[in-house]
């Protein structure tokens, strides 16, 4: 099986590449180093340096004998996207430079993934908008023109739903009105411009599925935590990119690092904001199970990709408790909310579909958190307190 991973250098992309490579898939990764370049530009820190994608592919090959083909290129350029399906692609690194063939599955992570980044100012808003939508649109048209059978697994976000006052289904809702009924995408309304681009991805994908009978699975993911996967444990140089800053660091990852350097946990406002979370290892499982049971032609299949829900306060208390048990004096600070969001709200999403196709959830246990503390502690000397909180407001 031939699998193409767009955004293969990112927090999810590289672990996904190793995961599928280890299971016998032919894997190609594509990235333009957006995340690394943005981290440099914004001066936000990574917990440890990470080798280039080409270097990581070489290390992976050395250690496992397996090949992950690498393309360094900007997928918002339609010609780069199309080359991956037309066969004109030039690999930046590969053992065998012959075209691997049209992929059976594409995993699409190639988006600017940060809410604060998208709202730094109008320029970053436009970068987010054009990058995310052009990549998705280029993918839709490449599939239309070259391969309507390829299964796309797209990473959406639970943030597309916002925090409505009714239960959140998995993507779809039947509406009855004046004695008639029809099934629709559950109405979406997000809390950041980044999250809004994910809604717009859904608009594009739903159009493409209806027009061209594409097959797409949209994984509505919650914030991911964790730094290790089974595949990365063989060598520290295979660890994924790990941010602990406000821009690219997700909340549990950030809190763990803050706890270690005695930086009070930054709970925004009242801290009643409830979201669904999942372990990095479960992201890989979800992609794998989605790949094994592809969507039908003409189907936009949507799963809510979370394993449990917590409020910001619950997360802070968990990190505090586990940190204290490890000897850290963890403080919690309720800072003025830089975002415009409900700090107390109803939240009841369904998340059953992925379990039904075989995903076995991991949970945020004290042991898991303690493991994260241990890895982060190893890199403590790299942590820059000055980049943890920038205070980007909207």
CB 309 within 8 A of CB 274: yes
Instruction: Select the residue interacting with its own copies from 87, 187, 358, 391 (CB under 8 A).
Output: 187
Q: Does 167 bind its own copies (CB under 8 A)?
A: yes
Shortest gap between Cβ of 220 and its own copies (angstroms)? 16
Shortest Å, Cβ 81 to its own copies: 9
Task: Give the one residue of 58, 64, 104, 141 binding its own copies; rule: CB under 8 A.
Answer: 141
Interacting residue with its own copies among 38, 59, 185, 368 (CB under 8 A): 185
Is residue 157 part of the annotated active site? The answer reads yes
By CB under 8 A, residue 186 contacts its own copies: yes
Does 134 contact its own copies by CB under 8 A? Answer: yes
Question: CA-to-CA distance for 384 and 317, rounded, in angstroms?
Answer: 23
- Long-range residue pairs from 143-149, CB within 8 A, at least 24 positions apart, any chain: 143/85, 143/208, 143/212, 143/214, 144/208, 144/211, 144/212, 144/214, 145/82, 145/85, 146/82, 146/85, 146/86, 146/102, 147/85, 147/102, 147/103, 148/212, 148/213, 148/214, 148/297, 149/215, 149/297
Q: How many residues bind to its own copies according to rule CB under 8 A?
A: 49
Tell whether residue 145 is a contact of its own copies (CB under 8 A).
yes
User: Which residues in the 206-225 window bind its own copies by CB under 8 A?
Assistant: 206-207, 210-211
Q: Which stretch binds its own copies (CB under 8 A): 67-75, 97-105, 167-175, 250-258?
A: 167-175
Instruction: Give me 116's structure tokens.
Output: 């604060």
Catalytic status, residue 283:
no
Report how far residue 228's alpha carbon sits from residue 221's, in angstroms, rounded to the nearest whole number.
18
Q: What's the rounded Cα separation, in Å, for the pair 304 and 286?
A: 10
Per CB under 8 A, 157 contacts its own copies: no
Cα 34 to Cα 73, 104, 114, 125, distances in angstroms = 10, 26, 12, 15
> Is 203 among the residues that bind its own copies (CB under 8 A)?
yes
Interacting residue with its own copies among 38, 54, 59, 204 (CB under 8 A):
204
Catalytic member of 11, 19, 194, 244 = 194
Q: What is the DSSP letter of 243?
A: B
Q: Per rule CB under 8 A, is residue 175 in the interface with its own copies?
A: yes
Structure tokens at 339: 């975002």
Strand partners, 31: 72
Instruction: Return the number of the residue (12 or 392) whose C-beta is nearest its own copies.
Output: 392
User: Residue 177 interacts with its own copies (CB under 8 A)?
Assistant: yes
Shortest CB 273 distance to its own copies, Å: 16
- State the nearest-atom distance from the C-beta of 86 to its own copies, in Å: 12
- For every residue of 146-179, DSSP letters joined together read H-TTPEEEEEEEGGGT---SS-B-SSEEEEEETT
196 is a contact residue toward its own copies (CB under 8 A): yes
Q: Does 78 bind its own copies (CB under 8 A)?
A: yes
Task: Compute the distance between CA of residue 282 and CA of residue 361 in angstroms, rounded to an integer.
Answer: 6
Q: Which of 4, 200, 257, 364 binds its own copies (CB under 8 A)?
A: 200
Q: Which region, judged by CB under 8 A, interacts with its own copies, from 12-20, 51-59, 187-195, 259-267?
A: 187-195
DSSP 54: H
Judge whether 362 and 219 are in contact, CB under 8 Å. no
Q: Is 380 a catalytic residue?
A: no
| CA separation for the pair 191, 116 (Å, rounded) | 11
Burial 280-304 (b: 16+ CB within 10 A, else e): bbbbbbbbbbbbeebbeeeebbbbb
Interface positions, 316-345, toward its own copies (CB under 8 A): 340
Q: Is 123 in the site for its own copies (CB under 8 A)?
A: yes
Q: How far apart are CA 269 and CA 264, in angstroms?
A: 14
**Does residue number 130 form part of the binding site for its own copies (CB under 8 A)?**
yes
Q: Residue numbers of the site for its own copies (CB under 8 A)?
A: 78, 82, 121-123, 125-126, 129-130, 133-134, 137-138, 141-142, 145, 164-167, 173, 175-178, 180-182, 184-190, 192-193, 196, 199-200, 203-204, 206-207, 210-211, 340, 346, 394
Q: What positions carry a catalytic annotation?
A: 157, 194, 198
């Amino acid at each position: 099986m031939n699998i193409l991973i767009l955004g293969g250098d990112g927090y999810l992309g590289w672990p996904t590449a190793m995961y599928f490579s280890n299971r016998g898939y032919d894997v190609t990764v594509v990235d333009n180093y957006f995340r690394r370049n943005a981290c440099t530009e914004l001066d936000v820190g990574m917990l440890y340096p990470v080798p280039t994608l080409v270097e990581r592919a070489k290390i992976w090959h050395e250690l496992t004998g397996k090949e992950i083909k690498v393309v360094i290129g900007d997928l918002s350029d339609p010609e780069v996207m199309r080359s991956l399906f037309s066969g004109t692609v030039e690999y930046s690194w590969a053992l065998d430079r012959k075209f691997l063939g049209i992929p059976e599955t594409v995993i699409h992570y190639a988006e600017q993934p940060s809410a604060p980044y998208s709202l730094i100012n109008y320029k970053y808003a436009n970068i987010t908008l054009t990058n995310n939508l052009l990549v998705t649109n280029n993918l839709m048209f490449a599939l239309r023109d070259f391969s309507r059978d390829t299964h796309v697994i797209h990473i959406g976000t639970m943030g597309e739903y916002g925090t409505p006052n009714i239960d959140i289904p998995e993507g779809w809702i039947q509406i009855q009105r004046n004695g008639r009924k029809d099934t629709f995408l559950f109405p979406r309304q997000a809390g950041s411009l980044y999250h809004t681009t994910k809604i717009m991805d859904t608009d594009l994908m739903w159009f493409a599925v209806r027009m061209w009978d594409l097959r797409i699975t949209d994984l509505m993911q919650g914030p991911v935590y964790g730094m290790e996967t089974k595949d990365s444990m063989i060598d520290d140089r295979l660890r994924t990119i790990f941010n602990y800053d406000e821009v690219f660091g997700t909340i549990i990852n950030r809190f763990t690092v803050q706890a270690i350097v005695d930086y009070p946990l930054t709970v925004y406002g009242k801290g009643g904001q409830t979201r669904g979370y999942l372990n990095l290892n479960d992201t890989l499982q979800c992609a794998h199970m989605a790949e094994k049971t592809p969507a039908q032609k003409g189907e936009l299949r949507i799963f809510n990709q979370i394993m449990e829900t917590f409020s910001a306060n619950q997360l802070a208390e968990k990190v505090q408790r586990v940190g204290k048990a490890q000897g850290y004096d963890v403080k919690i600070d309720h800072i003025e909310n830089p975002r415009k969001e409900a700090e107390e709200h109803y939240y009841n999403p369904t998340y059953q579909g992925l379990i039904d196709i075989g995903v076995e959830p991991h949970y945020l246990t004290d042991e898991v958190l303690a493991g994260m503390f241990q890895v982060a502690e190893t890199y403590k000397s790299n942590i820059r307190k000055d980049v943890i909180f920038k205070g980007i407001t909207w």
